[in-house]
A and B are shown apart, each in its own frame.
Chain A
Amino acid sequence: MHPPNVIDRPVTPGASSSRSWSRAFGDIRDGFNSRQLWAHLGWQDIKQRYRRSVLGPLWITVGMGVTALGLGLLYSVIFPVKVSTFLPYVTVGFIVWNFVDGCLREGLDTFIANEGLIKHLPSPLSVYILRTVWRQTLLFLHNMVVYVIVAAIFFTSIDHPYSMLLNNGGTMHPGLSWMMLTAIPAFVLIAANGAWVAMLLGIISTRYRDIPQVINAVIQLLFYGTPIVWSLDTVNGASKVAKTVLQLNPLYHLVQVLRAPLIGQNPTWTSWCVVVAMAVVGWALALVAMKNYRARVPYWV
């Protein structure tokens, strides 16, 4: 009944170090394979936020609609622009910004917010990354309803070459076309960027709790520094230097690759290249962080 020495010393040392590439990639692979888990968790996060409210997650859509309408109208009064083209521009800019901002802000918090689960259940860390990005994706899809409505209302103003300025000067945009479909790869690229941000900064923020504060302080500034409620077209008077500086803002390119095709504008090749380069470099850094510090995260949260 009682075998004496079942708890023997193992003959060989166990598995190799926890700091290995295979474990880092294994984590990510297992994370993707638990698709049902993170898909469920992400959706549950949204449902929980709007539980017992009458409209439920529709509030996301309503909130975005109000913001887009208000800001679109306000800024088209301030700037010499046409409401019919500027309102769609602001709406889409806001929707895309919300996604980028959400991935960044909540990505920083990914592991801290999931402390309980990390300490109690052995699941891959990437599950929590995917949960965060998926939640933001669902929010994005809710917000896209507003885009569809706005685009339908102003379809006649953006389905042909147009200028956003009242005097019809400035850049001419080609108008909506099949180029719109490039929004899909653009979104995938932005989501990929969101995922590495959550992974890399999530790990760093878990260790250094000042990082989320620093980034929260800067992100508001970045919002105003990125053409979302204003447009490059409206700052024609600005010097070349100012425009060059704006090109250095990576968030401009992130927003641009997704926004431009949705409102019939052309993103520059520079934007595409910057976004792809960010994804590649970012993932490389995130993978290094994952390899070296993945096993430390449960100790740090």
Chain B
Amino acid sequence: MVSIDVWNAAVDFPIFDAKSRSLKKAVLGKAGGTIGTDSRVPIIEALRDITLSLQHGDRVGLVGHNGAGKSTLLRLLAGIYEPTRGSARIIGRVAPVFDLGVGMDPEISGYENIIIRGLFLGMTRKQMEKRVDDIAEFSELGNYLSMPLRTYSTGMRVRLALGVVTSIDPEILLLDEGIGAVDAAFLDKARDRLNDLVKRSGLLVFASHSDEFLMELCNTAIWMDHGQMKMRGSLREVLTAYKGRDPFQDMSAATLQRLGLADTPVLPNGDPAS
């Protein structure tokens, strides 16, 4: 069963500068007696008191201003940062899409990059070769897949990255805001595929500043502020509190229909009334 449980977790970054990182201070400090005894490394509390539990089927949006800890929380959920205090338990195969440049080689073809990306996500070469056609079809990159990656636009890279992570049946999908570079038509397609994936096997956490994307992909949300969870609840509830207005308010009936919200009377907290 896919799940992420985080218990009172904190992520503290030690800030090393040339002085505190070097051995000189550590060694000479001891040898020299009193001088430099106060060489404590300053610490940034990037996250604190994070307690949450995510289950199969959750589609969680992360909102919050720059530096609120959204990306750090995603990396905590990915298992990259193990909490400095508290604990985290991640059960399921994690597929993060954070920085699109990392782990991709600009000099080799899109096709080769698909394979590498897959290897990083724990697949084998053979398994990835089977999925190449599917990824090519989904990403609509066509012949571009045989071109070196440096010829790709940002949006094309996002398509490639999303194609890979959605093709490998990940259980925990973590998306950072970078995926905002794709066009509306592709987003539609991606949404169906992502929703499908979450329904089938997993959970999704998505950090974004775009209401539109959040509404397309998520049903619940967490509002991060100063490294803490300021609020959690349904997407509508959280977005209303965060933005100061209800983003679903001005939506056309067609959009609501598409998001599956139309014709269902909705309470202010986002719950269906029935």
Contact = CB atoms under 8 A, between A and B. Distances in A.
Does A associate with B in a complex?
A: yes
B116 interface: yes
A51 B105 CA distance: 12
Nearest to B52: A7
Contact of B103 (A12, A13, A117): A117
B103 A40 contact: no
Interface of B: 5-8, 13-14, 16, 18, 21-24, 26, 51-55, 58, 60, 75, 78-84, 87-89, 94, 96, 98-99, 101-103, 105, 107-108, 116, 119-122, 124-125, 219-220, 222, 232-236, 260-261, 264, 266, 269-272
B261 A14 contact: no
B26 to A, nearest CB: 7
B82 A18 contact: yes
**Interface extent on A, as a size class?**
35 or more
Nearest to A214: B23
A4 B234 contact: yes
Interface string A6-47: 111110111111100000000000000010110010001000
Contacts of A14: 5-7, 87-89
Contacts of B52: 7-10
A121 to B, nearest CB: 5
Contacts, number: 136
Interface stretch (A57-65, A88-96, A98-106, A203-211): A203-211
A123 B120 contact: yes
A2 B57 CA distance: 11
B92 to A, nearest CB: 12
Contacts of B120: 37, 117, 121, 123
3 nearest A-B pairs in the assembled complex, by CB-CB distance = A14-B89, A2-B234, A10-B5
Nearest to B24: A210
Contacts of B53: 7-10
B45 to A, nearest CB: 13
A34 B122 contact: yes
Contacts of B272: 1-2
Interface string A238-275: 00000000000000000000000000000000000000
B98 A300 contact: no
A125 B79 CA distance: 12
> Chain A contact residues: over half helix, strand or loop, or mixed?
loop
A299 B105 contact: no
Nearest to B93: A122
Contact of B219 (A1, A117, A120): A1
A181 interface: no
Interface in A204-238: 207-211, 214
A121 B6 CA distance: 19
A40 B120 CA distance: 11
A299 B47 CA distance: 13
Contact of B21 (A6, A15, A123, A208): A208
B6 A10 contact: yes
A160 interface: no
Contacts of A208: 21-23, 26
A214 B24 CA distance: 11
Contacts of A5: 233
A211 B51 contact: no
B16 to A, nearest CB: 7
A15 B89 contact: yes
A17 B89 CA distance: 10
B264 A9 contact: no
B88 A15 contact: yes
A298 to B, nearest CB: 5
B80 A120 contact: yes
A140 B226 CA distance: 50
A37 B119 contact: yes
A89 to B, nearest CB: 38
A299 B81 contact: yes
A207 to B, nearest CB: 7
Contact of A9 (B21, B51, B55): B51
A210 B75 contact: no
B222 A7 contact: yes
A3 B219 CA distance: 8
